[in-house]
């Protein structure tokens, strides 16, 4: 079975463009969600006491440098108990109670007052998806323009000949 290299290259390029498009859309959705969460916490957040259940040390670099702590805590809201990661990398004593902030419509969304104060919706979350989508648009435009230039048998373009036409130059004999 022979593989046409041009067709194979086209499939690979198409798959890559599709993958970049999917990545851009996922990043775009994540940016919208992140901005939405920041606005919800700021505008609709309510305080909730969070009991620290434990913390683990985080290592950075080669594994010998401390990089902070990952802590978990539990809180109760409207009779339901939630266990979530506590945002930030500070060390909290197990059993201690810290102040948390949740959104009543989404009680799984936990933050701290300091994180809510520092976090805000930003257009910067859309830079990477916009660049990726621009690359896809330019690449598709380039490929379409290239395909149109190469399309055989398109009437009215110089150098194109009807299908089956052979280029027969007149034969000259002698030195005339």
Could you read off the pLDDT of 95-149 as tens digits, one per residue? 999 999 999 999 999 999 999 999 889 999 999 999 999 999 999 999 899 888 8
pLDDT, residue 170, reads 56
pTM equals 0.68
List the domain boundaries for the chain: 45-118
Provide φ and ψ at 169, rounded to 5°: -85, 150
CA distance 39 to 47: 15
């Amino acid at each position: 079975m022979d593989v046409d290299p041009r067709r194979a290259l086209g499939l690979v390029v198409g798959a890559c463009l599709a993958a970049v498009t999917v990545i851009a859309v996922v990043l775009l959705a994540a940016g919208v969600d992140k901005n939405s969460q920041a606005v919800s916490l700021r505008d609709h957040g309510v305080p909730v006491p969070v009991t620290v259940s434990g913390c683990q040390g985080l290592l950075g670099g080669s594994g010998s440098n401390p990089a902070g702590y990952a802590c978990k805590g539990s809180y109760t809201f409207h009779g339901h108990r939630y266990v979530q990661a506590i945002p930030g990398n500070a060390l909290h004593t197990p059993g201690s109670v810290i102040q948390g902030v949740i959104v009543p419509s989404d009680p799984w969304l936990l933050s701290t007052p300091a994180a809510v104060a520092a976090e805000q919706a930003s257009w910067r979350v859309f830079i990477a998806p916009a660049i990726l989508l621009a690359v896809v648009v330019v690449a598709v435009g380039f490929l379409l323009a290239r395909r149109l230039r190469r399309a055989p048998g398109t009437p009215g373009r110089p150098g194109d000949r009807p299908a089956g036409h052979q280029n027969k130059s007149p034969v000259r004999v002698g030195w005339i």
